Amino acid sequence: MNRKTKRTSGSKKTGNNKMTVRSEREHDLHLFKQMWRIRQFEEKAAELYGKMKIRGFLHLYIGEEAVATGVTEVLTGDDNMVATYREHGYALLRGIPSGSVMAEMYGKKEGCCLGRGGSMHLFDVNARLFGGNAIVGGGLPVAVGLALADKMQGNDRITCCIFGDGAVAEGEFHESMNLASLWELPVLFICENNLYAMGTAIRFTHAVTDLASRAVAYNVQSSFVDGMDVIAVEEAVRKAAGVVRKERVPYFLECRTYRFRAHSMFDSDRYRSKDEIEEWKKRDPVETFREFLLKNKHADKKDINKIEKEVSGEIEEAVSFAESGTWEPIEDLTKYVYSEKGVK
């Protein structure tokens, strides 16, 4: 864990625009809690998948928690976010109630999308979350358009676009970087480079594996950061988002991370070695941060236990909320193919 600058941590809290000034200790505990929330939510989702409560595709974020945590910490509730199919963590941290996310994965009506989107398609108007996009690269042009709308309307928000290393190979990445740069649009491009496009390692998919360097071709500022270190991610995102917010231009930040679990629940993980996974697990963003907190006396065991207890309670509640949810009536199947009359 490497803290470059001493901070008395001020951070804009997701969900509103109020500045929540926290001490460094409080802030660190908050970061830990956010990562722990994702981790526990994901572990529970995997368990529920095994119990057939959740079906379809389920893409776990375990191992990558520092990225979503560092990113959302910096955004304001008014900023836009376009995410990928591995977006449970973003949905939680953008402020969608965990019960609503869990219910969505159960396919229940109480889910944030009435159970119509499922794990891969979490949308929420209040969180300004524009999906969960499950077409790799498909969200990038949409993010460009959202930023274009803000520019045209003189809004000061930024649009944060999440995608993986796989998307960097798609044409949409290149087209969108070009458009965002050409039109000077406030898009924060966050690449979660977890080294695998599904089951194919980056060395087999990219001629240039230093993804941050790609931005040069589009005259877009860029940098990379250790995506296993939440403090480093937060700092890097703060800098990147600062550029986007102030200069009203795009920025490309590559977060180098690793997914501990298989791509999805159908993946038997044949394409990488156990040793490699174990090696990365030594850098577990949640565990290393816990150790850091204890070592630096930012937290004692009691603090951690308290957080763990709170989070367990939250997850338990989320599950029971989902369990007690209802099914959308079949008569509503064709509702929302088109807007109801009067909607503009």
Partner 1 sequence: MKERGKKIQYREAVRQAIIEAMEKDERVFLMGEDVGRYGGAYAVSLGLLEQFGQERIIDTPLCESSFVGAGIGAALGGMRPIVEVMTVNFSLLALDQIMNNAATYLHMSGGQYNVPLVIRMATGGGRQIAAQHSHSLEGMYAHIPGIKVVTPATLQDARGMLWTALEDPDPVLIFEYAGLYNTEGELSEDAGAVDIDKCKVMRSGKDITIIAYGGTLSKAFEAADLLSRDGIDCEVIDLRVLRPLDEDTFLSSVSKTHRALIVDEGWRSGSISAEISARIIEKAFYELDVPVERICSAEVPMPYSKHMEQAALPQVDDIVKSVRRIVNKDE
**CA-to-CA separations, 86 to 181, 302, 310, in angstroms, rounded:** 26, 32, 24
Q: Confirm or reject binding of residue 329 to partner 1 (CB under 8 A).
A: no
Query: Is position 138 an interface residue for partner 1 (rule: CB under 8 A)?
Result: yes
Nearest CA to 245 among 180, 154, 156? 156
Check binding of 330 to partner 1 (CB under 8 A).
Answer: no
Collapsing DSSP to helix, strand or coil, 62 comes out as coil
Give the phi and the psi of residue 191 in degrees, each rounded to 5: -100, 120
Distance CA 254, CA 236 (A): 10
Angle at 164 between CA 158 and CA 166, to 5 degrees: 135
Among the listed residues 34, 69, 98, 176, the single contact to partner 1 using CB under 8 A: 176
227 binds partner 1 (CB under 8 A): no
Residue 253 phi, psi (nearest 5)? -115, 120
Ordered strands of the 159-164 beta sheet: 129-133, 80-84, 159-164, 187-193, 251-256, 221-226
The interface region with partner 1, picked from 108-116, 189-197, 232-240, 313-321 by CB under 8 A, is 108-116
CB nearer to partner 1: pick between 7 and 116: 116
Nearer to partner 1, 141 or 272 (CB): 141
Q: Interface with partner 1 includes 181 (CB under 8 A)? A: no
Question: Quick one: 64 or 110, whose CB is closer to partner 1?
Answer: 110
Of 75, 91, 146, 244, the one binding partner 1 by CB under 8 A:
146
117 is an interface residue for partner 1 by CB under 8 A: yes
What string marks each residue from 45 to 84 as x (binds partner 1 by CB under 8 A) or -?
A: -----------------------------------x-x--
- Report the residue number, 54 or 112, with the smaller CB distance to partner 1: 112
CB burial of residue 249 (10 Å; 0-12, 13-18, 19+) = middle
Amino acid, single-letter form, for residue 56: G
Per CB under 8 A, does 113 bind partner 1?
yes
Q: Which of 148, 277, 294, 304 binds partner 1 (CB under 8 A)?
A: 148
| Residue closest to 237 by CA, chosen among 79, 48, 21 | 79
* DSSP state letters, 269-311: -TTS-HHHHHHHHTT-HHHHHHHHHHHTTS--HHHHHHHHHHH
Binding of partner 1 at residue 178 (CB under 8 A)? Answer: yes
| 130 near partner 1 (CB under 8 A) | yes
124 part of the interface to partner 1, by CB under 8 A: yes
Interface with partner 1 (CB under 8 A), residue total 45
Specify whether the CB–CB gap between 173 and 163 falls below 8 A.
Answer: yes
Contacts with partner 1, 228-267, as mask; x by CB under 8 A: ----------------------------------------
The region of 12-20, 50-58, 114-122, 233-241 touching partner 1 under the rule CB under 8 A is 114-122
Q: Does 149 bind partner 1 (CB under 8 A)?
A: yes
DSSP 52: T
- Which lies closer to partner 1 via its Cβ, residue 148 or residue 201? 148
Helix axes 65-74, 285-295, angle to 10 degrees: 70
Residue from 63, 70, 99, 131 in contact with partner 1 (CB under 8 A): 131
- Residue 132's φ and ψ, nearest 5 degrees, are -10, 90
Binding positions for partner 1, rule: CB under 8 A: 80, 82, 111-117, 121, 123-125, 130-131, 133, 135, 138, 140-150, 152-153, 171-172, 175-176, 178-179, 182, 335-339, 343-344
